Amino acid sequence: MQDFKGVSRRTFVRTAAGALAAGVGASAGLTWFPAASHARMKNLRGAADRINIGVIGTGGQGTWHVQNLLSKAERENVAVTMVCDVYKRRLENARKLIKGDEKSAVMEYERILDNKDVHAVLISTPDHWHVKMAIEAMEAGKDVYVEKPLSHTIEQAIACRNAVRKSGRVLAVGPQRTSEQRWWSAGEAIRAGRIGPVVWSQGSYCRNSREGQFNWRIDPDAGPSATAGEGYVDWDRWLGHQHGLAEKIPWNADHFFRFRKYYAYNGGVATDLMYHWLTPLLLSIHGPDGAYPRRVMSGGGQYIEKDGRDIADTMLLTADYDTHSVFLTSVMVNDVGVPEMIRGQQGQLEPTGDGWSVKEQGTWAREFRKANGIEIKEVEAQGRKRLEPPAGQATSSIKAPGNKDGRDHVENWIDALRGKAKVNCNVELGCAAMVAIKMGVESYRQSKVFTWDAKNEKIVG
Ligand SMILES: NC(=O)c1ccc[n+]([C@@H]2O[C@H](COP(=O)([O-])OP(=O)(O)OC[C@H]3O[C@@H](n4cnc5c(N)ncnc54)[C@H](O)[C@@H]3O)[C@@H](O)[C@H]2O)c1
């Protein structure tokens, strides 16, 4: 295991600390702060200034980001001026998309960070690289969009959170549901007391496939020995073993093309999919900075997908917070999940196509109706007074279609780069969610229940 004990973790912590110190004279304590305040000023780019973006990792999601940014380029006054990937074919494809010259497409992300004309980077590599790149980008004076999940390990997530706090840079984390208005409206409803105190909530991300989940196409000519054509992969740079990000292993196409199947690089369905639900649930229940769990436990198993992968095909995770619990499921061999829901003592929020249905708990019907502005009507029935509609049957609704402020997740980041908005998934929320999700991964893997030592920011098993 690579992230909770042993060399790799120590190496990363050292790397992260070193990265924070390197080049910014942290020991003198001076250079960092001026750099940060300069950075903060640069965050507030005027509407007229073009924002130049470098995209690091141009595989499936990174290519989507490149195309998406290109489609918005004129309207948003942004440009993708550099791209980076360690797989030549994907890099070349991205270079063609941005119509760049040779210098615009690089295999070493450091060359993007060195380019002063690049203002912001979008990181879409596998998870084990996210935080190292994000911290180094911030040190280089760049703002960051980092794909979900924030990191591979808890230590990385905290290092990244602390680096953002210290530098004042803009950093958005990628779970796009946090930009949906309905989660922000759910939060308003909760804080207005419309369902009473939140007790538990749930979310689900389930799929089914004949070929095995994540068994995506492998290019047969790809690998580190394919030096002639476009198949070349800088495998060492993909692994990042020099930095303690993963173990050094010989070329493995399944690991490269299907990294989600292996715990060395991510947390399987928990980091890939559950993270998408936990972030908006925490946003609604706790607000934009989320909250850290008290205890996390997971169950599940690898019941069907036994093709040499590590990860569970069926995972059920429970995270207890100080005042409520969250239940998440992610199953890759049956696509019927549990519906998303937020339950309070007096009512619950159930999703509709464009918002929420707010449903009452009969026991608390009067309180619920008062909090939801529903007239309390009583009728005589069989010599007794009862509520009309009967207790347990009143509903209210929340219309919250589309995205917050009409801006999607990437547009929200662009607004934040211009100082016009706060990012919808900030590093506080990204880190808090990461802690719970990673505790869940380790709970499953180690058959243990983990608690969170909030003071020392460590997990206790
Ligand atoms: N928000 C979403 O809905 C969403 C959807 C898909 C993926 N993602 C996230 O995006 C990330 C990438 O996922 P993917 O499916 O695109 O994976 P992918 O394997 O298709 O792409 C990752 C790319 O990063 C490149 N890479 C690896 N190490 C690198 C390095 N050191 N320098 C430069 N490039 C490097 C790889 O060569 C690869 O092309 C993951 O963290 C994933 O969780 C988010």
Q: Answer whether 59 contacts ligand 1 (Cβ < 6 A).
A: yes
Point out the ligand 1 atom lying closest to the alpha carbon of residue 90.
39
CATH architecture of 7-178+407-422: 3-Layer(aba) Sandwich (3.40)
Q: Answer whether 83 contacts ligand 1 (Cβ < 6 A).
A: no
Residue 296 CB partners (closer than 8 Å, separation 6+): 317, 318, 319, 320, 436, 439, 440, 443, 449, 450, 452
Q: What six digits make up the tokens of 369?
A: 């109706």
Q: How far is the CA of 43 from the centre of ligand 1 (A)?
A: 26
Point out the ligand 1 atom lying closest to the alpha carbon of residue 234.
37
Q: Answer whether 84 contacts ligand 1 (Cβ < 6 A).
A: yes
Q: Kindly report the protein residue whose alpha carbon is nearest to atom 39 of ligand 1.
A: 59
Q: Answer whether 57 contacts ligand 1 (Cβ < 6 A).
A: yes
Mutate-to-test residue for ligand 1 from 61, 130, 214, highest number of ligand atoms within 8 A of CB: 61
The one-letter amino acid code at 187 reads: G
**CA atoms 109, 156, 170, 269: torsion sign:** positive
Q: Kindly report the protein residue whose alpha carbon is nearest to atom 21 of ligand 1.
A: 59
pLDDT tens digits along 429-450: 999 999 999 999 999 999 999 9
Q: Are 222 and 89 in contact (CB under 8 A)?
A: yes
pLDDT (0 to 100) of residue 23: 29
Q: Answer whether 124 contacts ligand 1 (Cβ < 6 A).
A: yes
Q: Answer whether 356 contacts ligand 1 (Cβ < 6 A).
A: no
The alpha-helical segments, DSSP class H, found in 77-218 are 88-98, 110-114, 130-139, 154-167, 181-191
Beta-carbon count within 10 A of 60 CB: 12
In a structure prediction context, what are the per-residue pLDDT tens digits for the chain, which is 461 residues long? 333 222 233 333 333 333 333 322 222 222 222 233 334 445 556 556 999 999 999 999 999 999 999 999 999 999 999 999 999 999 999 999 999 999 999 999 999 999 999 999 999 999 999 999 999 999 999 999 999 999 999 999 999 999 999 999 999 999 999 999 999 999 999 999 999 999 999 999 999 999 999 999 999 999 999 987 899 999 999 999 999 999 999 999 999 999 999 999 999 999 999 999 999 999 999 999 999 999 999 999 999 999 999 999 999 999 999 999 999 999 999 999 999 999 999 999 999 999 999 999 999 999 999 999 999 999 998 899 999 999 999 999 999 999 999 999 999 999 999 999 999 999 999 999 999 999 999 999 999 999 999 999 999 98
Site of tokens 């879409």: 124
Q: Answer whether 85 contacts ligand 1 (Cβ < 6 A).
A: yes
Point out the ligand 1 atom lying closest to the alpha carbon of residue 175.
1
What DSSP state is assigned to residue 10? H
- Strand ranges for 247-406 from DSSP E: 295-301, 314-320, 325-331, 341-344, 347-352, 355-360, 377-381, 384-388, 395-399
Q: What are the residue boundaries of the structural domains of the chain, listed by start?
A: 7-178+407-422, 217-257
Q: Answer whether 43 contacts ligand 1 (Cβ < 6 A).
A: no
Q: How far is the CA of 123 from the centre of ligand 1 (A)?
A: 8
Point out the ligand 1 atom lying closest to the alpha carbon of residue 84.
33
Q: Answer whether 127 contacts ligand 1 (Cβ < 6 A).
A: yes
Q: How far is the CA of 311 from the centre of ligand 1 (A)?
A: 18
Q: Answer whether 214 contacts ligand 1 (Cβ < 6 A).
A: no
pLDDT (0 to 100) of residue 381: 85
Q: Kindly report the protein residue whose alpha carbon is nearest to atom 29 of ligand 1.
A: 238
Q: Answer whether 86 contacts ligand 1 (Cβ < 6 A).
A: yes
